[in-house]
């Protein structure tokens, strides 16, 4: 039985730090959200104790924030080491995962060593997977520095790396000890990355909370301008919805699949274009337009609601038309998409499962005929 989601309440003038709890029994943890919270000693209280901490970051985020994070945790850990990965989805692979293991072994990390994932979703996924598997599990803390990571990938315990044949095909469910979302880092976040993060914020409306979607639409100017009060509320509500889902379905046996709204199409875009050509949030945005169109054609959603959502995505700078994927010979675009979606880990026995938007209800998962999906893809592509 699915418990009810707490109704959305917001005061976008309130910029005080917020906390969201994910209830998973012994694996429960808090998400701390606010501006400048790295500087607050309470942010770091109660974390696992260890002789060493390892900061995992990348060559874009490291020069900006590694020293600041090091200063924040130095008093808690006698030794703090750092490993720097190359930036980008193209490097989210087994080869670069080994750099984390190399650092752990070189610095003689033990079972209590705490990893701090400082970066976006790629860093968080890779550091989390390293933590899940090094000595069969060591603690880690998510310190996400992108909007997308704060509202999605850092929360819920999904970790992993990509394979050339599919995104996130190698990984594990492994929960962090804490997620620390300091919104001050958005000051250095490029516009394109920020917009990509908004895709995951906007996703939460269609899947679970139309009132939140209405609020986002009403506050779109604040979102565009990175208004501190609007962002605190948007990140908090996004994390509340994800916490509600994860608490009921940690390992994606049912309800958690709704978090993949637009992702089946979006992952095909990412893989088909080559990882890094389209940002994850960009692929999800175009994918959500396709998923909305599929929902309309299945009779689950009014066409005007899908059009309204598409307009909202476009207003925050996100792509709403899917790309034509590279192909050989005379293969039809819809077939290229379908072939890639069948490799997606959400497919079962080669049958593609889509998250569909059900008007005024929590989203659902169902299949659709190849012919219908092909029509949707064709309607939503650039021509």
| Spatial CA neighbour of 235 closest among 7, 78, 67, 35 | 35
CATH architecture entry for 18-188: 3-Layer(aba) Sandwich (3.40)
Q: What are the b/e assignments for 185-216, b being 16+ CB within 10 Å?
A: bbeebeeebbbbbbbbbbbbbbbbbeebbebb
Which of 66, 89, 193, 200 is labelled catalytic?
Answer: 200
Taking residues 140-148, what's their average pLDDT?
A: 98
Residue 1: per-residue pLDDT: 46
| Spatial CA neighbour of 207 closest among 16, 363, 352 | 363
Q: What is the pLDDT of residues 145-191, one digit of tens each?
A: 999 999 999 999 999 999 887 778 899 999 999 999 999 999 999 99
107 tagged catalytic: no
383 tagged catalytic: no
Q: What is the pLDDT of residues 341-382, one digit of tens each?
A: 998 766 766 789 999 999 989 999 999 999 999 999 999 997
Residue 2: per-residue pLDDT: 59
pLDDT surpassing 80 at residue 11:
no
% of residues, the chain, pLDDT over 90: 86
Which of 267, 270, 293, 310 is labelled catalytic?
Answer: 267
Residue 143: per-residue pLDDT: 98
Q: What is the pLDDT of residues 130-139, one digit of tens each?
A: 999 999 999 9
Mean confidence (pLDDT) of the chain = 94
263 tagged catalytic: yes
| Spatial CA neighbour of 61 closest among 102, 122, 109 | 122
Instruction: List C-alpha distances in Å: 370 to 97, 334, 335, 355.
Output: 36, 9, 9, 15
Q: Which residues contact 79 (CB under 8 A, 6 or more apart)?
A: 51, 52, 53, 107
Taking residues 264-287, what's their average pLDDT?
A: 93
Q: Order across the sheet with 18-22: list the strands.
A: 18-22, 29-34, 178-182, 140-144, 114-119, 52-58, 79-85
Distance spanning both ends of the chain, measured CA to CA: 45
136 tagged catalytic: yes
Q: Which two tokens stand for residue 11?
A: 């005061």
Which of 91, 167, 178, 242 is labelled catalytic?
Answer: 242
Least confident of 68-72, 187-191, 236-240, 272-276: 272-276
pLDDT surpassing 50 at residue 204:
yes
Apex CA 144: angle with CA 141 and CA 148, to 5°?
135
Which of 260, 293, 297, 310 is labelled catalytic?
Answer: 260
Q: What is the pLDDT of residues 80-130, one digit of tens each?
A: 999 999 998 889 999 999 999 999 999 999 999 999 999 999 999 999 999
Which of 250, 252, 270, 282 is labelled catalytic?
Answer: 252
Q: Determine what percent of the chain falls in helix, strand and coil, rounding each to the nearest 5.
A: 50, 15, 35
260 tagged catalytic: yes
Phi, psi of 38 (to 5 degrees): -60, -35
Which of 280, 293, 297, 310 is labelled catalytic?
Answer: 280
Which of 32, 91, 92, 158 is labelled catalytic?
Answer: 158
For the chain, the structural domain boundaries read 18-188, 191-380
Q: Which residues contact 160 (CB under 8 A, 6 or more apart)?
A: 125, 129, 168, 169, 170, 171, 172
200 tagged catalytic: yes
Which of 35, 167, 237, 256 is labelled catalytic?
Answer: 256
pTM value is 0.93
Taking residues 245-268, what's their average pLDDT?
A: 93
Which of 32, 263, 297, 310 is labelled catalytic?
Answer: 263
- Contact between 378 and 273 under an 8 Å Cβ cutoff? The reply is no
Residue 9: per-residue pLDDT: 85
Instruction: Give the Cβ contact number of residue 329 at 10 Å.
Output: 4
pLDDT surpassing 90 at residue 261:
yes
Fold match flag (18-188 vs 191-380): no
256 tagged catalytic: yes
108 tagged catalytic: no
191-380, what's its fold? Dehydroquinate synthase-like, alpha domain (1.20.1090)
Q: What is the pLDDT of residues 13-43, one digit of tens each?
A: 788 899 999 999 999 999 999 999 999 999 9
Least confident of 58-62, 248-252, 279-283: 248-252
Q: Which residues contact 89 (CB under 8 A, 6 or more apart)?
A: 122, 162, 270, 275, 276, 279, 280
């Amino acid at each position: 039985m699915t418990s009810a989601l707490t109704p959305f309440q917001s005061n976008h003038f309130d910029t005080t730090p917020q906390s969201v709890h994910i209830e998973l029994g012994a694996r429960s943890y808090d998400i701390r959200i606010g501006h400048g919270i790295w500087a607050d000693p309470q942010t770091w209280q109660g974390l696992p104790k260890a002789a060493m901490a390892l900061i995992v970051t990348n060559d874009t985020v490291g020069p900006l924030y590694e020293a600041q994070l090091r200063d924040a945790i130095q008093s808690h850990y006698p030794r703090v080491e750092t490993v720097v990965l190359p930036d980008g989805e193209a490097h989210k692979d087994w080869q670069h995962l080994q750099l984390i293991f190399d650092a752990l072994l070189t610095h003689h990390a033990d079972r209590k060593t705490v990893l701090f994932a400082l970066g976006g979703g790629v860093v968080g996924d890779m550091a989390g997977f390293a933590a899940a598997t090094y000595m069969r599990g060591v603690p880690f803390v998510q310190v996400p520095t992108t909007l997308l990571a704060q509202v999605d990938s850092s929360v819920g315990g999904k970790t992993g790396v990509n394979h050339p044949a599919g995104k996130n095909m190698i990984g594990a469910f492994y929960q962090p000890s804490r997620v620390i979302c300091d919104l001050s880092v958005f000051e250095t976040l490029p516009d394109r990355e920020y917009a990509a993060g908004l895709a995951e914020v906007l996703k939460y409306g269609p899947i679970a909370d139309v009132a939140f979607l209405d609020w986002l639409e009403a506050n779109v100017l604040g979102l565009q301008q990175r208004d501190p009060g609007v962002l605190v509320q948007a990140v908090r509500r996004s994390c509340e919805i994800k916490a509600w889902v994860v608490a009921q379905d940690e390992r994606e046996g049912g309800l958690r699949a709704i978090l993949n709204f637009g992702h089946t199409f979006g992952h095909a875009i990412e893989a088909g274009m080559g990882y890094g050509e389209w940002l994850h949030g960009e692929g999800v945005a175009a994918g959500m337009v396709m998923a909305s169109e599929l929902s309309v054609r299945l009779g689950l959603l009014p066409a005007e609601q899908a059009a309204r959502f598409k307009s909202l995505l476009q207003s925050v700078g996100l792509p709403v038309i899917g790309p034509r994927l590279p192909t050989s010979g005379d293969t039809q675009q819809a077939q290229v998409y379908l072939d890639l979606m069948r490799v997606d880990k959400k497919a079962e026995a080669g049958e593609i499962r889509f998250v569909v938007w059900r008007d005024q209800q929590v989203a659902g998962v169902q299949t659709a005929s190849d012919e219908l999906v092909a029509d949707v893809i064709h309607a939503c592509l650039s021509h």
